[in-house]
Structure 1
Amino acid sequence: MTTAGMARGAVVLALLLGAGLAAAWTGQTQVLGAWLAAWWFALGLSLGALVNVWVHSLTGGRWGEAIRPDALRLGAAVWPLAVLFVPVLAGMNALYPWASDAARGSARWAGELASHSTGFKSLWLTPWCFVLRGVMYLALWSLLARLTMLPACTRSPRFAAVALIVYGVSVSLAAVDWLMSLMPLWYSSVFGLLAACSQAMSGLAAAVVLCARRAGAGEAQRLGDLGNLLLMYLMTWAYLSFTQYLIIWGANLPHEISWYVVRRDGGWLPLAWALAVLQFALPLVVLLFRRAKRAPRVLAGVAGVLLLAQLLAAWWLVLPSVPAAPLAWWWLAPVVALVFAAAARTAVPRGWAMPVARGTGSGGQHD
């Protein structure tokens, strides 16, 4: 083993030891919550990259050619990342409050929900059904990623249209299962669309960071188009987020407002303001200027800020819904994120990717 390999092994071992100590100190539930947040962020990079590949297959344009190779490599990581979801499935009884007393059936919601609305919810939120759906989502996304690499599908508008529809439905259900059900009495009809928009933005941001490093002097137009697409994603995310907040806060219904109450009263307001600045205000101001969008370093910097904001957004979605002392998250979440990064680095070796087909035709060349 080389010195570099031994050093990497020592770092991974130290991180795993740190995660073990964190689990012993804070509890399994908190570590699983931080792991779920890190995993959701990483999955969003991979699935979001595929979303932008499918959009490009539908619309064409030179903008997509700039990010397509990097986006395909990111999308190929779906299957290895699926393996890293196993800890969540294994620890679901500790993480999800509805799972530990699933044997009670509809009695879990007694006094909270009307009797006529508890039957389907009780069936949906049962461990075996939860695991089955999770495996189906991950298998479906892995299949879509694999098909995207095939010559017959890689630039096919028909396949891209079907893939986007399947992805939109499945990721909405997955967001409800894995994130919303952390607070099983809370619901939002826009939550799934918000999750899909966030993933598309993070996937594009990751691809932009990778492709901007090798952008030449003649890439200004393509970089400008990518900057416009990033601007569209962040404005859509901001609109959906504010609409969800405005409607829920205005209605002031207990089952709906509880999600925001724990984020207001649990010491999470600094994170909310950080998201408002890093995932909306700061990128918005920069991306309004054409010169900034066409400068590789500036655009890569904006994309990097959006990636950081997406990690913060994953923490915002998951961590306040998991019971813990707020101050514990400020050190636990970064530690677990580093451990997850080390695990993902092992599961997805450097340079690993599915074979990518070189499709023919002009589907990606027209403006």
Structure 2
Amino acid sequence: MKRMQPIGIVLLLLVAVGGTVSLPVALACALAAWWWALGLVLGVFINAWMHVLTGGNWGLPVRATALALSRRLPWLLPGLVVVAAAAGQLYPWATLPAAEWTRGMARPGFALRWLAPAAFTARLVLYAVAWWWVTRPASLASKGRAAASIVVCMIATTLAGVDLLMSLVPGWYSTAFGLVLMGTQALGGAAVVVPLALLRRDWPAAKEAPVSRDIGNLLLMWVMSWGYLAFMQFLVIWAENIPREIGWYVPRLQTGWQWVGVALVLLQLAVPFVALLFRSVKDRPARLALVALLLLASTAMDTVWSIVPSVDAHSLHAWWLAPLAFAGMALLAFGGTEAVSAQAASRELRHA
């Protein structure tokens, strides 16, 4: 599996070469792939912290997967250095005159101070420290630590979403945006448990239900949560119809990206929702794995949809740069991750 990481590096280098054709689009695709990979690590920990607080037989594969992926975070945090270095190519506030990108803002002075280069870079360092702190095995050691980790992760990820994703369109804001992002991360984190753990088929089951059914129900809950949050954000902004607020949706609904939005409704909501209603799917890990892989692909598509149109909604280069970036990032960050067995998980959890 470790041989996959050099392939990932090669694919990411191809994305860098693609920057000679369209540097902003290549950087946007790389940012999307990085955010998706980071979200899988944070997402599986969100589910693991939930288990620490609630208990249940379903938590063993989730917590074991979290411990396995925590080792991959050092491969991802250096991406913040790339973001800081590429800010001038990605973010309008980094290059445009302040009067142009703050036009129409209620508090332009706060935006100018918040997005000042020094403040932006300092917050990136704080996000890196916060994500490293909450993804340590120690965060799963007690209910108090799990609760504190959830709070820290929510604050850091919401603010990072504002800085790294929302500020791609400086005049736009949504109070639900952070929740939508974290809902997507939690969904991807629950989905990655299935191929990395449940397919080993050696997890102890309660008499009334197999562990895979619990994970399937967890996936169903996150599918519905994401659908609700994403729809309510869209509904409120559509109903208000304020130019400053609809600016984020216009390039996604009036270009070819509208079909990506339709695909998300089908692949990240409708199809998995129907499939996860059936115990014949949830009780069989092989079938559940198909749903999980669909959700991993759809969360990747969701991340692209959330980032790339904000940079360039009309370039066709994203359609080949994004797959390269996601394949490269997945192989680089997770190429050395082995499937987790119940026996190995029990050993790791005892030493966590």
Output the TM-score relative to the length of structure 1: 0.86
The answer to whether the aligner puts 1:157 opposite 2:146 as a matched pair is no
2:53: which partner in 1? 58
CA contact (8 A) 1:49 1:72 kept: no
Matched, 1:189 2:181: no
Question: Is structure 2 residue 10 aligned with structure 1 residue 18?
Answer: no
Shift of 1:178: 0.6
Q: What's the offset of the Cα at 1:162?
A: 0.9
Question: Aligned-pair distance for 1:97?
Answer: 0.6
Does the 8 Å contact 2:47/2:186 carry over to 1?
A: yes
Alpha-carbon distance in 1 for matches of 2:8, 2:153: 33
Task: Report if aligned partners of 2:194, 2:285 keep a CA contact under 8 Å in 1.
Answer: no
Distance 1:319 1:110 in 2: 21
The answer to whether the aligner puts 1:177 opposite 2:127 as a matched pair is no
Structure of higher CA gyration radius: 1
SS at match of 1:327: coil
Confirm or deny: 8 A CA contact 2:48 2:63 kept in the other structure. yes
Say whether residues 1:46 and 2:35 are aligned partners: no
CA contact under 8 A between 2:174 and 2:233: conserved in structure 1?
yes
- Between the aligned partners of 1:340 and 1:293, the Cα distance in structure 2 is 29
Task: Look up the SS of the partner of 1:315 in the other structure.
Answer: helix
Q: Where do 5+ consecutive residues of structure 2 fail to align?
A: 341-346
CA RMSD of aligned residues (A): 2.5
CA separation of 1:303 and 1:21: change in aligned 2, threshold 3 A: same
In the alignment, the residues of structure 1 paired with residue 154 and residue 146 of structure 2 have an alpha-carbon distance, to the nearest angstrom, of: 12
Q: Which whole-Å CA distance do the structure 2 matches of 1:325 and 1:259 have between them?
A: 14
Residue 334 of structure 1 pairs with residue 323 of structure 2? yes
Aligned residues of 2:198 and 2:285 also touching (Cα < 8 A): yes
The structure-2 alpha-carbon separation of the partners of 1:357 and 1:14, relative to structure 1 and needing over 3 Å to count, comes to closer
Match of 1:79 in 2: 74
Percent sequence identity is 40
- Report matched runs for 1:1-367 at 5 Å: 9=6, 11=7, 14-26=10-22, 28-101=23-96, 104-105=97-98, 107-109=99-101, 111-114=103-106, 117-146=107-136, 149-150=137-138, 153-216=139-202, 219=205, 220-323=209-312, 325-344=314-333, 349-350=336-337, 356=348, 358=350
Q: Secondary structure at the match of 1:213?
A: helix
Q: In the superposition, relative to structure 1, how do residues 119 and 8 fare at CA in structure 2: closer, same or farther (>3 Å)?
A: closer
Q: Kindly indicate whether the alpha-carbon contact (under 8 Å) linking 1:33 and 1:95 is maintained by their aligned counterparts in 2.
A: yes
User: 1:217 & 1:72 partners in 2: Cα distance?
Assistant: 16
Unaligned runs of 5+ in 1: 361-367
Q: Secondary structure at the match of 2:104?
A: coil
The Cα offsets for residues 172-205 of structure 1, whole Å up to 9 and x where unpaired, read as: 1111111100001011110011111111111111
Q: Give deviations 1:131-166, integer Å, cap 9, x for gaps.
A: 1111101111101222xx23xx53301111111111
What letter is aligned with 1:56? H
Superposition deviation, residue 243 in structure 1: 0.4
Count residues in correspondence.
342
Could you tell me which amino acid in structure 2 is paired with residue 244 of structure 1?
A: Q
Change (3 A) 1:32 1:244: same
Contact 2:8/2:329, CA 8 A, preserved across alignment: no
Q: State whether residues 49 and 75 of structure 1, in contact with CA within 8 Å, keep that contact through their aligned partners in structure 2.
A: no
Shift of 1:63: 0.5
In structure 2, what residue type is equivalent to 1:187?
Answer: Y
Which position in structure 2 is the counterpart of 1:365?
A: none
Post-superposition CA distance 1:219-271 (Å, at most 9, x none): 45211111111100010100011101111011100010111111011210111
Query: What is the rounded CA distance, in whole Å, between the counterparts of 1:162 and 1:8 in structure 2?
Result: 33
**Is the CA contact 2:102–2:171 (under 8 Å) kept in the aligned structure 1?**
no
Tell me the TM-score normalised to structure 2 length: 0.90
Give yes or no for contact 1:53–1:72 (8 Å, CA) kept in 2: no
